[in-house]
Structure 1
Amino acid sequence: MNILFIADPLESFKTYKDSTFAMMREAQRRGHQLMACEPKDLMWQRGGRVTAYVRDITLTGDADDWFVAAQQAPDERPQALAEVDAVLMRKDPPFDSEYFYATHLLGQAQREGARVFNDPAALRNHPEKLAIMEFPELIAPTLVTRDAADVRRFHEEHGDIILKPLDGMGGMGIFRVGADGLNLGSITETLNRHGAQSLMVQKFLPSIAQGDKRVLLIGGKPVPYSLARIPQGSEIRGNLAAGGKGVAQPLSARDREIAEALGPVLLARGLLLVGLDIIGEHLTEINVTSPTCFQEIFDQTGCDVAALYLEALEAALA
């Protein structure tokens, strides 16, 4: 079948750890034809179908020059998305206004017959930090607000807290404030822009020392290994982008309980691939835009996450 990957520029991929690259490699191994474009290459003209300007690509197996493309800018070829067997939206966060508009174009492509994964409406409806609030029994004490007074009350109740922007990624903009409340006001002003922007506040979870675990759901079922992203040195952030160390490990009983509770619900909403973030006993994020950690888990355990994903994709298209 033909698979279109909508992703960041191919030239920016770090293939030794990129999960989209792992998907492409497995898809080509299975005999599928690959196309790639960026969200900026989507186009919809009056009276026509949603189209992307794509490059037909082949993977070379070379670590450096890892792909060859039949087309180069500005000569990419137009491709109606409805004529592609599967469209994979793999643009990395942040979920900004252009990502939002891209989901609307992909929604129109669906109406024309395209098969898009993850479902564009589901991407819009599951902002990765806010989405956890639907499942209060699985999360730690959490507050979403613009109001500095709300933040102060939450701090008074819980003492040791984490503050973060709703649109952050890779650990960006995460702050910890202890019982002394040092810098709480200035941190709140920085994140909420003096009341103009919402932020998230959570009770600090000491079990972050054992890692912020990424648990992958594929076709509603958990991958048997998580990647625990463990903070290093004086850091409180386990994110790999913030210097965390990734350690693959079997799912704990609680990991599996959370995954099995959410898997069928999220799959029914059109989310074929989801990355749950779990600290200790608590769900902290539901990642749907471009979940990662395929290669880290495979390299450490031999569990072929990309193969599991392609099997689920093929089953969804059958």
Structure 2
Amino acid sequence: MELAFYADPLETFKVQKDSTFAIMAEAVKRGHRIFSFCQHDMALDGNKVVATVKRIELTGRENPDWFEIEQTEERELETFGAVIVRKDPPFDTEYINSTYLLELSERKGARIFNRPAAIRSHNEKLTIAQFPEFTVPTLVTADGERLRSFHAEYGDIILKPLDAMGGTGVFRVEKKGLNLGAIIEMLTDNGSRTVMAQKYIPEIADGDKRVLLVNGQVVPFALARIPQNGEVRGNLAAGGIGRAQPLSKRDREIAETLAPVLSGRGLFLVGLDIIGNWLTEVNVTSPTCFREIERQTGFNVAGLFMDELEKTV
């Protein structure tokens, strides 16, 4: 089967920890041919959506020589066995436009995972509001006064943008409210951009747990990303240390509740973020942590991904 990966430029991959690379390597091991393309490689030309794709071979080496480009060609996406969406945020206008192009390809027969309309409909921060039984008090607004009132009520809060990743733009404001006004002004761009505020969850000290769902199946291990050096953010990109661990009873309750719902909506791969007993994010663009979980537990997440993909297509 030929698989096309819609992702960031190959030169930006860090293969020792990259989940997209893990899927690619598993696909090649199974005899599939892999291709890649980026956001601006797509075009609507008449009634066709085409992409300039690179046919790549894996070299078995590390960065920066982990791949070789065998050929470059223009293809309609429905000619592939599957298109795997692995483009990182920010989820900006260009990202949204790319989902429209992918959706047009889907209407002509392309098999796309995750489905573009489903990605567009599930903001990675806001989707938790659909599952209030699993969330802490949350406010989403651009109104500075509402944000100040939320802080006054809960005393210790997290503020973050709605369209970033890797812990970018995440702030904790404790009871004294130091710099609250400046943080609100910056994140909301003086009231013109919507942000999220959540009650602070002290269990972040034990890690921000990434729980993976693959085609409605729950991966039995989470990666707890533990903040370091006084950080409030556990994200690996922000310096957190990853510790793989079995799912807790509460982790499994959340995951098993959401898995069939999200799978039924066209979300083949989802990364839930859980702190303590609470759901904080639903990641649908390019969920990670495959390699860390496999390295520490032996559980082959990419293998499960390919098992489910092969069954589906």
TM-score (structure 2 length as normaliser): 0.98
The whole-number CA distance in structure 1 between the counterparts of 2:191 and 2:39 is 32
Residue 305, structure 1, aligned to residue 301, structure 2:
yes
Superposition pairs of residues 1-318 of structure 1, within 5 angstroms? 1-47=1-47, 49-64=48-63, 65-71=65-71, 76-317=72-313
The whole-number CA distance in structure 2 between the counterparts of 1:305 and 1:288 is 16
Deviation at 1:284, TM superposition (A): 0.2
- For the Cα contact (< 8 Å) 2:91–2:164, is it kept in 1? no
| SS of residue in 2 equivalent to 1:292 | coil
Deviation at 1:248, TM superposition (A): 0.4
Deviation at 1:155, TM superposition (A): 1.1
- For the Cα contact (< 8 Å) 2:167–2:235, is it kept in 1? yes
Equivalences, count: 312
- For the Cα contact (< 8 Å) 1:221–1:259, is it kept in 2? no
Any idea what the Cα deviations from partners look like across 1:48-83, whole Å, max 9, x if unmatched? x21111111111212242222112xxxx21111111
Deviation at 1:261, TM superposition (A): 0.5
The whole-number CA distance in structure 2 between the counterparts of 1:129 and 1:4 is 27
Any idea what the Cα deviations from partners look like across 1:203-246, whole Å, max 9, x if unmatched? 00000000000000001121010000000121111011111000
- For the Cα contact (< 8 Å) 2:222–2:246, is it kept in 1? yes
Identity of aligned residues (%): 58
- For the Cα contact (< 8 Å) 1:19–1:294, is it kept in 2? yes
The whole-number CA distance in structure 2 between the counterparts of 1:276 and 1:7 is 20
| SS of residue in 2 equivalent to 1:3 | strand
The whole-number CA distance in structure 2 between the counterparts of 1:299 and 1:113 is 36
The whole-number CA distance in structure 2 between the counterparts of 1:68 and 1:192 is 43
| SS of residue in 2 equivalent to 1:285 | strand
Deviation at 1:173, TM superposition (A): 1.0
Structure 1: 4+ residue segments shifted above 6 A: none
- For the Cα contact (< 8 Å) 2:56–2:69, is it kept in 1? yes
Deviation at 1:168, TM superposition (A): 2.1
Any idea what the Cα deviations from partners look like across 1:95-127, whole Å, max 9, x if unmatched? 111111110000000000000000000000001
| SS of residue in 1 equivalent to 2:129 | helix
Tell me which amino acid in the other structure corresponds to 2:107: R
Deviates more, 1:223-232 or 1:36-45: 36-45
Unaligned runs of 5+ in 2: none
| SS of residue in 2 equivalent to 1:44 | strand
The whole-number CA distance in structure 2 between the counterparts of 1:163 and 1:63 is 37
Tell me which amino acid in the other structure corresponds to 1:234: G
Unaligned runs of 5+ in 1: none
The whole-number CA distance in structure 1 between the counterparts of 2:175 and 2:35 is 52
TM-score (structure 1 length as normaliser): 0.97
The whole-number CA distance in structure 2 between the counterparts of 1:207 and 1:307 is 31
